[in-house]
Structure 1
């Protein structure tokens, strides 16, 4: 029994000790998501989600420089999701504004038709 479990424990131990690779690809994806949100017009001063994404991205870069690749990857993933959330919130707000404008136009048309 010990002869069978020892190799398994060794493999598990070695994989646990293996260092995480640098999350360069995740950092690139996060930077793209931040750029895309800013390109759409999301303002970091008005969007808490974008501010949070930028903070986490900076933390991820610092963690990667410190050699903490796992923490850097997690922070970069969170930052990417926060940037995408900021983008979705912005698109949703724009859609809501357009809906209000369309409803105002409809009401004006109804008033004009009622006046005839």
Structure 2
């Protein structure tokens, strides 16, 4: 039991991970994620809140784990959002190319 308590006490505060997580979530919010990514951001925010509570309770290992998961959820939401935007841009470019082909064919 003493080993278990000393193991918990040896985990440093996840200050840097909490900062990285908050930074990732801020970046994703700034992108204006769509409805499809809102669920992932909700998960990220929930995990981050739980990480903050664990850190306040000095459960550093749990706080770090939750903060890492929250960061990954936020990064996934960001990647999905960027993927959707890229697909929309590709569709628009294909439309423009088709229109140019029609114009060239009419000459």
TM-score by length of 1: 0.79
Q: How does 1:1-116 map to 2 (within 5 A)?
A: 14=3, 17-18=6-7, 19=9, 20-43=11-34, 45-47=35-37, 48-116=39-107
Q: Which has the higher contact order (CA 8 A, sep 6+)?
A: 2
- Over the residues paired in the alignment, what is the CA RMSD in angstroms? 1.9
Q: What is the Cα deviation at residue 15 of structure 1?
A: 8.3
Distance 2:12 2:44 in 1: 22
Rg larger in 1 or in 2? Answer: 1
Instruction: Kindly indicate which of the two structures has a greater share of residues assigned to helix.
Output: 2
5+ long unaligned stretches in structure 2: none
How many pairs are equivalent? 103
Distance 1:16 1:32 in 2: 31
